[in-house]
Structure 1
Amino acid sequence: MLDTLALLLDKLALFFVTCAPPPPERVYRRGDLLEVPRTLFTHFGIYLGDGCVAHLIPDILPAVTSDARLLCSRVTNTRLLLGVLAKRASVRVDSVEDFAYGAAVWLNTHAMERGAGGRGRPDAEEAARRAESLLGSAPYSLLWNNCEHFVTWCRYGAARSLQTEQFCQWLKSLIRDQRNAVVAGLLGLACLARSGVSFGTALPAIFIPFTLWMAS
């Protein structure tokens, strides 16, 4: 049973990872902000030098063991997905290759610099030292404390995620669209007509469209 669950989680994780040929070798400087494009998001890390990257990654193991040997091993897809569900992560140091996980690595020199609020180029050495000071177990939230929050705090002293802001803006526009309230109301009526009127069907059929309408 556990083997089947692990295989299922492994297959599910492949949906979130963009597989590509190994990226060509290039020279990075200590404190550089690196990014790896995935299918649904971008993963971020801080380059520490000697081919190593510090990054925050969901990981269930810090919540269940303190064995340094196990914690230092490569994070598998199963560990990652269970970490997302348990809201646990670790700030760890991996090689550029393990950080990339088969995808291309990009040097971020644009979007994040605009996020600095006009304070000029951040100090790269300070960013690397901040990343090193946070190594170890950490709480995780897909929207409020992810890898992008980690790198922006290291680079600019303020945690921020452009990906989260874009998602919330999209969600806000979705909620404010009155047509969605109408669609939800029609679906609720269809559900009542199919399943009959009861507390379990009437409450969501009325409450969801009403909430969407009031928020729009």
Structure 2
Amino acid sequence: MLDTLIFLLEKFFFFFFSFLSSSPCSRYVGHAPPPPPHAAVLRRGDLLEVPRTLFTHFGIYLGNNRVAHLIPDILPAVTSDARLLRRKVTNTRLLLGVLAKRASVRVDSVEDFAYGARVLLNTMDRAVNRRVLPGEEAARRAECLLGSAPYSLLWNNCEHFVTWCRYGAASSLQTEQFCQWLTLLIRDQRNVALAALLGLLSLAYLGVSSGTTLPAIIIPFTLWMAS
């Protein structure tokens, strides 16, 4: 049962993040990023980015090859064993953390943080129109948040963490891009007709009942009023 749930969640996140692939924070997807910065050129408080297939992961460099980053993790919700919490976060821990809305701000090596991908250095500075805080202040902000934390895929993710540390205010360009896409989707009246058609097909296939009739009416009506 757990394996099935994880499989379905993986599919959900694949399709979810596909909508974010055109966001400013995913601008490196499909392009060869520059070589990873050598540890000697990294400074305490630097913002590190790791482009994944469809999104970007973020962290704050603390010095001595250490990176603080917020990552979904179910384990802090069920145990306080520091030995277990220090282990690498597996996909199962990560997906269950997303489902339970739990995360941890943890410290890993640059190599573990990158997970085989190339690391980009301070590139968000060009996309965020905010003053960059001194590196020491950014690093101390990250350190004060270490430990268990609430998590939301849209409203409290790794990007919110690093922007609060480096710029003084939490924000997420990836979330903004998704909300823009969702707004366009709702305002497109063609989706009203599509929802109505799907509702009629469900009634024809499943029969008339409260479980089929109410969604068939309410969803198109809501989209129509919001468009």
Tell me which interval the TM-score lies in, with the shorter structure as reference length. Answer: 0.7 to 0.9
**Paired residue for 1:42?**
56
1:141 paired to 2:152: yes
Name the residue aligned to 1:174: 185
Q: Describe the shift of the 1:25–1:153 C-alpha distance in structure 2 as closer, same or farther (beyond 3 A).
A: closer
Classify 1:157/1:6 alpha carbon distance in 2 versus 1 (closer, same or farther; 3 Å): same
Partner of 1:94: 108
Deviation of residue 5 (structure 1)?
Answer: 5.9
Q: What SS does the corresponding residue of 1:164 show, helix, strand or coil?
A: helix
Q: C-alpha distance in 1, partners of 2:73/2:144?
A: 19
Counterpart residue number, 2:128? 115
Give the structure-2-normalised TM-score: 0.83
Comparing 24-33 with 134-143, greater Cα deviation is found at 24-33
**TM-score under structure 1 length normalisation:** 0.87
Structure-1 residue corresponding to 2:174:
163
SS, match of residue 130 in structure 1: helix
Q: Distance in 2 between matches of 1:82 and 1:114?
A: 31
Measure, in 2, the Cα distance between the counterparts of 1:13 and 1:102.
Answer: 24
Structure 2 distance, partners of 1:6, 1:103, is 27
2: CA distance, partners of 1:10 / 1:199: 28
Q: Work out the CA distance in 1 between the residues paired with 2:90 and 2:151.
A: 17
Distance between the aligned counterparts of 1:88 and 1:190, measured in 2? 38
User: Aligned pair in 2 of structure 1 residues 28, 6: CA closer, same or farther (>3 Å)?
Assistant: farther
Alignment of 1:189-208 (within 5 A): 189-208=200-219
The answer to whether the 8 Å contact 2:37/2:120 transfers is no
Aligned sequence identity (%): 77
Change (3 A) 1:93 1:86: same
Q: Which residue of the other structure, out of 62, 73, 78, is the alignment partner of 2:76?
A: 62
Distance 1:6 1:175 in 2: 29
Checking the alignment, whether the CA contact within 8 Å between 1:6 and 1:78 is kept in structure 2 is no
C-alpha distance in 1 between matches for 2:9 and 2:108: 20
Any conservation in 1 of the 2:133–2:168 contact (CA below 8 Å)?
Answer: no
Unaligned ranges ≥5, structure 1:
none
Contact 1:92–1:135, Cα closer than 8 Å, also in 2: yes
Moved more, 31-40 or 192-201: 192-201
Change (3 A) 1:71 1:6: farther
Runs of 4+ aligned structure 1 residues displaced above 4 Å come to 4-16
Please give the residue correspondences for 1:4-83 in structure 2 after superposition, counting only pairs within 5 Å: 4=3, 8=7, 24=36, 26=38, 27-83=41-97
